[in-house]
Structure formats: structure tokens, C-alpha cells
Amino acid sequence: MPVSPISIFAPAKLNLSLAITGRRPDGFHDLVSVVAPLDFGDVLHVEAADGLKLTCDTPGVPTDGSNLVLKAATTFFQATAGAGAVRGAKFRLEKKIPVGAGLGGGSSDAVAALRGLNALAGHLLSLARLTEMAARLGSDCPLFLHERPVVMRGRGERIEPLAESAVARLRGRCVLVFKPGFGIPTPWAYAQLAVAAPHSYMPAAEAEARLASWLTNTNAPAEELLFNNMEPPAFRKYVALPALLDQLKTDFGFAARMSGSGSACFGFLPPGVSSASIIAAIHAAWGDSAFAMDTRLM
């Protein structure tokens, strides 16, 4: 068994393509999305202890039972009761992923907790069992059990790893990720889609056809994947987003899209192009509270 404590990297994610195809009877939404983890994220330190405790280096991040890290831990301990596994834990979260960004920070942290506890328990649970538990914690949690680009379907619980030929077109690509000082509440974003239905949804057959076209055309670059039908309602309310994206396209030829339900946006950096001038323009438009950094797809 690993020596306690251990440290688990919790990567951010980007929805390179996101097609919301309809609302389900259970209130969730169906989607087809190509998602890639980033070489940037949080770090969760996990240590066996009595009881449950979470601390975080970022003010404002909840450290009580509402945090997905502690919810994941409770789920893990319930699943392994009587198996001789560790029965309590102390977590210390180094938070780098901005909150309310659509970058999956909370979900990634939750899966890091599952992975860390499972490592402390001598890998007691299989990947399939961890995936089942992750799906109960959140729709986009299961993708973080795969350290590679994947296709998400259903409400996010159905994960299909991309073929290596497709991954080769994504892995290592430089991206600039940026976010204004405000976030977009995920429940609000999905509610706007439901209000605007049915014209706001993309038919599932069309979403699958778009994906199949990119997968079969092995010469198609990653840029041709970029799509997000959650942008229109977000852009109508948060006009700072489309205003800056249009400016960056005009001034730098830098085409950016929103990730997930926002408010973070991203774009691919052409080889040899410095991000410094683009980041300066982002801060000039959105102020010093804006987050901006370049990283790579894993």
C-alpha cells in the first residue's frame, strides 16, 4: 500500500465540441462531446486520518460537506465498508482551476479523491466500480478517470476513449484558456437551453454525424472540432464574452470558443505564436481579475 500522504493531479478539461441534444425525463440533458484533459489543474493531497477533513488554499472554496471531494470520500467509504480499507481521510486541496468556469474543477477534484483513497486502500476497487461511483457524483466526473481525450454521451456518464489516430491530432496542442472575473452557474445555463427548446438543441443524429466526419477525415485538424451550442444563451446575457472573442479574431486571427457551460473560453495557439499579446488584450478588456494562461492538451 502507498505511504500516506499521497498527491493526486486533478486536471482541468476542455469541451472541444459540445452538442446538447435534448432534455431527458429525469431533468438532465443528453449530449455528445469531445473532451480533453489539460496539462494544468489542481493538486489534491490525501492522508489517512480519523474522520473527514478538507482544507483549501483558495479563499471562498467550500470545505464542508457540500464540496465534491468530501462527497466522493463518503461515497468511497460507504462502498468499501467492512473491506478493511482506510476509514477516514484528511484532504488538502491546492486550487488552480478557476471556479464557475466550465473547466470541470470540482468534478476533477472529486475523482482525484476517489483515486487517492483507492490507492491508499491498495486499489481495492476496479475502474468499472470507480466509474459507477463517479457517475453518481456528477455528470462529467467519469471522464476524469481517463487520462486522455474521450467522447462523452448520455448525460456524461457514457465514456468512449478516442482512437489513437484521433488522439494524435489533439495531444500536445497548445491552447490559451481564459476566463472573466465572473462565472456562469451551470444550472442556469442548462435551464436557458430548456426554455429555448426545441430550436436550441442539436439533433443527436446531426451531432453524431459531425463527430464521425471529423474522426474519419484523418487530415482534419483539431480546429474543425470546435463547437458549442451552449454559447448562444450565455452570449446573450454575458455580452463581454462574444465581444472579446470577436475582438481577438479580428486583431489576432485567434478563434476561440466557450468551454462547457462557461464562462471560460479557449483557442488553439498556432505554432510559434506567443500568447503574451493576446493575454494583454484579454486583461485590457476584462480587467486584472481575468484568468488567462497557456497550456497543452493531454
Active site residues: 13, 140
Judge residue 146's burial from the number of C-beta atoms within 10 Å of its C-beta, 0-12 exposed, 13-18 middle, 19 or more buried: middle
**Got the DSSP string for 33-77?**
EEEEEEEEEEEEEEEE-SSEEEEESSTT---STTSHHHHHHHHHH
Do 262 and 184 meet the contact criterion of CB atoms below 8 Å apart? Answer: yes
Backbone angles phi, psi at 18, to 5 degrees: -145, 110
- The residue to which cell 484528511 is assigned: 90
Residues sharing a CB contact under 8 Å with residue 160, sequence separation 6 or more, in sequence order: 150, 151, 153
Whole-angstrom distance, CA of residue 220 vs CA of residue 96: 32
Give the closest residue to 174 by CA, choosing from 46, 36, 18.
36
> Closest Cα partner for 183 from 280, 261, 68, 288?
261
Closest CA to 228 of 274, 194, 262: 262
